[in-house]
Amino acid sequence: MINDHFLGFGLGLRIPHFEDVLNTEHNVDWFEILTENYMVGGGKPRYYLEQVAERFPIVMHGVSMSVGSTTPLDTQYLNHLKQLINDVKPRWISDHLCFTQANGVNSHDLLPLPYTEDAINHVAQRIMQAQDHIGQQMLIENVSSYLTYKESGMTEWEFYNEVCQRADCLMLLDINNIYVSARNHQFDANDYINAIDGKRVRQIHLAGHTDYGDYVIDTHDHDVCDPVWDLYRAAVKKFGAVSTMIERDDDIPPFTNLVDELNIAKRIAHEELPDLSQWNKEQVHV
Amino acid sequence: MSDLARLQQQFVAFLQGQQSDFPQLIGDQPPVATDIRLNIYHNAYRMRLRETIDNDHPMLGKYLGDEFYDILVANYIDTYPSKVKSLRYFCDAIPTLLAEQQPFIEHPILSPLAAFERALLTAFDATDASTIGINDLASLPGDQWPNITLSFHPSVSVFEEPINAVATWQHLKSDKNPPAPLAHELPLYWLIWRTPERLTEFRNFMAPEMVLLKHFVNGGNFADGCDALAEYLPVDEIPQFAVQYLQQWLTNGLVSKLTAH
């Protein structure tokens, strides 16, 4: 059974692809924008976004809400976010399970939280505040990490599930991030997938990384690798049809290359979900 | 302070290269050494900020060359850590640093060159607004002219240049050797705007046009604007020049609104 939130298979909307997205034939169902890139008054980015949004469903993906920070939520940022939501009318918005700033300094990185009961209470409370402010449920994404804290008392997936359950938010499950963290912290990525509360998973991210042998860095500058495709297959088996997209942020290839890569995701999903052939994308694109 | 707050403060202090107990909070996870794990974050922090400077200031980077550019990047990241949510605004203080810190202060071309690059960026993504054309002026009854006021497109700005920064930028952009720095006796003024086709444009303009533009920006009307031009132009030529300026602004797509009071 395909749920009403399934948008199909999408891509991150990137500047070098604006013309291709609008002026070539392709089978990309929807696009994700990086929220902060469009928090500007106008000009080319907003012009193209407006046109893309007229033809394709859009979702918004933020990197700066810093739901894990211990300083007060930035209401000015939330107001800008609310304004952009009003302008773009995305199907949903997302941000990350992390903190990005402290001491008044923004790291512009997705810094991991300790997996503790205190952190769960704190982050869940902040997500609820943010959801109240913008008037809608958010998706929260798992981040890649390269270190663990001595004080962490549970697994990442236990922490992630608990935060989302207490905040009553949805999940943006990044399969590549699970793979990267599993390699860096030597756990079984399938344990992570199997433990996730499937009813909250609204969107899936796929991406590439850089493999340094003993560790892996989430760089979004390579194609999706085979072990991540295998994990994606496991995720599709467990969660069913979930809106899936590829994130590419560096060494961005031609648009057609990404479309080809997205077709791999589509093929895997169709192989695992026979019902998917009955899905009519025109219904969700209205 | 909570443990979580302390951990976050220590983490960010570590990223900034400050004294921090953060490494002691990290679990040991062989075979990858804790130092390597920490450096992934430290390097990513500096790399991301450096890429932002690279993207925003390509001509400044070319002018400085690798050695001085590396010094600028390191000093800027340390002196002006990001306080903003969007990296779009991270480099806003680069012209200030170049005007204040050694060795850059010895080269007065640098700060205006960086300021010009930022002015172009500001025009690039300034707020959208519709513009009016020359026909809106042509249909204006003659008796309303003295009282008209103008609103300009949000991308319109005036760049005041004390030294040949724009010529330097233009040479670097065309992959030519930049001219020697040359301070102007009096500042030059450049009009910067984004066209209706969303292209960022700029042109040099003389004092009378700049005075009239600033007069309108400040809410003044046409008649008073003509009076302000008396300092620069023969009185009998003022109306002709003023109308020409208006026509050019309208043709270039600089004007959002013309109000006849």
Residue by residue, DSSP assigns chain A as ---TT---EEEE--GGGHHHHHHS-----EEEEEGGGG-SS-SHHHHHHHHHHHHS-EEEE-S---TT-SSPP-HHHHHHHHHHHHHH--S-EEEESSEEEETTEEEEEEEPPP-SHHHHHHHHHHHHHHHHHHTS--EEE----S--BTT--S-HHHHHHHHHHHHT-EEEEEHHHHHHHHHHHT--HHHHHHHS-GGGEEEEEE---EE-SS-EE--S-SPPPHHHHHHHHHHHHHH-S-EEEE---SS---HHHHHHHHHHHHHHHHHH-GGGGG--HHHHT-
Residues of A in contact with B88 (CB under 8 A): 36-37, 39-40
> B112-124: per-residue pLDDT in tens?
999 999 999 999 9
- Are residues A146 and B25, on separate chains, in Cβ contact within 8 Å? no
- Residue B138, pLDDT above cutoff 90: no
Cβ–Cβ of B128/A43 closer than 8 Å?
A: yes
- The predicted complex's ipTM stands at 0.95
In the block, tokens 């941000």 appear at A95
Chain B residues in contact with A37 by the CB 8 A cut-off are 86, 88
Q: Is residue A262 in some structural domain?
A: yes
Residues A22-33: what's their mean pLDDT?
A: 97
Chain A residues whose CB is inside 8 A of the B9 CB are 102-103
| Candidate from A43, A44, A111 with C-beta closest to B11 | A111
For domain B108-261, the CATH class is alpha beta
- Judging contacts by C-beta atoms under 8 Å, the chain A residues touching residue B29 are 147-148, 184-186
Q: CA–CA separation, A87 vs A38, rounded Å?
A: 10
Contact B37 A146 (CB under 8 A): yes
* The model's pTM: 0.93
What is the tens place of the pLDDT at every residue in B75-117? 999 999 999 999 999 999 999 999 999 999 999 999 999 999 9
Taking CB atoms and an 8 Å cutoff, what residues of chain A touch B39? none
- Asked if residue B178 has a cis previous peptide bond (ω within 30° of 0), the answer is no
A163, part of any domain: yes
- The minimal CB distance from A41 to the residues B7, B40, B128 is found for B128
Evaluate whether residue A2 is within a structural domain.
no
CB nearest B85 (choices: A41, A77, A111): A77
Is residue A210 in a domain? Answer: yes
At B204-254, the pLDDT tens digits run 999 999 999 999 999 999 999 999 999 999 999 999 999 999 999 999 999
Determine the pLDDT at residue A285: 66
Tell me, yes or no, whether A261 lies in a domain: yes
Is pLDDT above 80 for A283? no
Structure token digits, residue A112: 């991991």
- B39, HSE (Cβ side, Cα atoms, 13 Å): 6
Mean pLDDT of A74-81: 96
Tokens 């892996």, residue?
A: A216
| B60-75: burial string, b at 16+ Cβ within 10 Å, e else | bbbbbeeebbeebbeb
Whether pLDDT at B61 is above 80: yes
For A209-261, the pLDDT digits (tens) are 999 999 999 999 999 999 999 999 999 999 999 999 999 999 999 999 999 99
| Predicted pLDDT at A3 | 83
The range of the structural domain enclosing residue A233 comes to 9-284
- For residue A4, being part of any structural domain is answered with no
Asked if B221 contacts B149 with a C-beta cutoff of 8 angstroms, the reply is yes
What is the tally of structural domains in chain A? 1
How many other C-beta atoms lie within 10 A of the C-beta of residue B209? 21
Tell me the chain A residues in contact with residue B83 when contact means C-beta distances shorter than 8 Å: 104-106
| CB contact (8 A) between residue B25 and residue A103 | no
How far apart CA B256 and CA B258 sit, in angstroms, is 7
Q: What pLDDT is stored for residue B136 in this prediction?
A: 83
Is A133 part of a structural domain of the chain? yes
pLDDT surpasses 60 at B50:
yes
Q: For the segment A147-191, what is each residue's pLDDT rounded down to a tens digit?
A: 999 999 999 999 999 999 999 999 999 999 999 999 999 999 999
In chain B, the percentage of residues whose pLDDT exceeds 90 is 93
Give the C-alpha separation, A243 to B191, whole Å.
47
Average pLDDT, whole number, for chain A? Answer: 96
Q: How many Cβ contacts (< 8 angstroms) between chains A and B?
A: 132
**C-alpha to C-alpha distances, B138 to A134, A203, B247, B254, nearest whole angstrom:** 47, 55, 10, 16
Nearest residue to A276 via CA among A246, A227, A234, A239: A239
Do A204 and A240 form a contact (C-beta atoms < 8 A)? no
Tokens, residue B244: 């020409």
Residue at A188 is within a domain: yes
Mean pLDDT on B61-73: 98
Which residues of chain A are within 8 Å of residue B3 when distances are taken between CB atoms? 118, 151
Q: Compute CA distances B144 → B138, B223, B240, B258, whole Å.
A: 12, 10, 16, 11
Residue A286 has pLDDT above 60, yes or no: no
A contacts of B127 (beta carbons < 8 Å): 41-42
- Nearest chain A CA: its distance from B104 CA (Å): 25
Which among A68, A70, A105 has CB closest to B16? A105
Each residue's pLDDT tens digit, B174-191 = 999 999 999 999 999 999
- pLDDT tier at B198 (50, 70, 90 boundaries)? very high
Residue A93's φ and ψ, nearest 5 degrees, are -125, 155
pLDDT of B25 higher than 70: yes
**With 80 as the cut, is the pLDDT of residue B1 above it?**
no
Binned at pLDDT 50, 70 and 90, residue B139 comes out as: confident
The sign of the CA dihedral B108, B113, B116, B121 is negative
Closest Cβ opposite residue A41 in set B4, B37, B154: B154
Nearest residue on chain A to B36, alpha-carbon basis: A146
Residue carrying the six token digits 């850590």: B81
Question: Which candidate from B2, B8, B125 shows the least CB-CB separation from A43?
Answer: B125
- Measured between CB atoms, which of B48, B90, B127 is closest to A42? B127
Query: Which candidate in A34, A40, A51 is best for mutational testing of the B interface (most B CBs within 10 A)?
Result: A40
Chain B residues touching A108 at Cβ < 8 A: 45, 48-49, 82, 87, 90
Q: Hey, are the CB atoms on B87 and A147 less than 8 Å from each other?
A: no
* Domain limits, chain B: 108-261
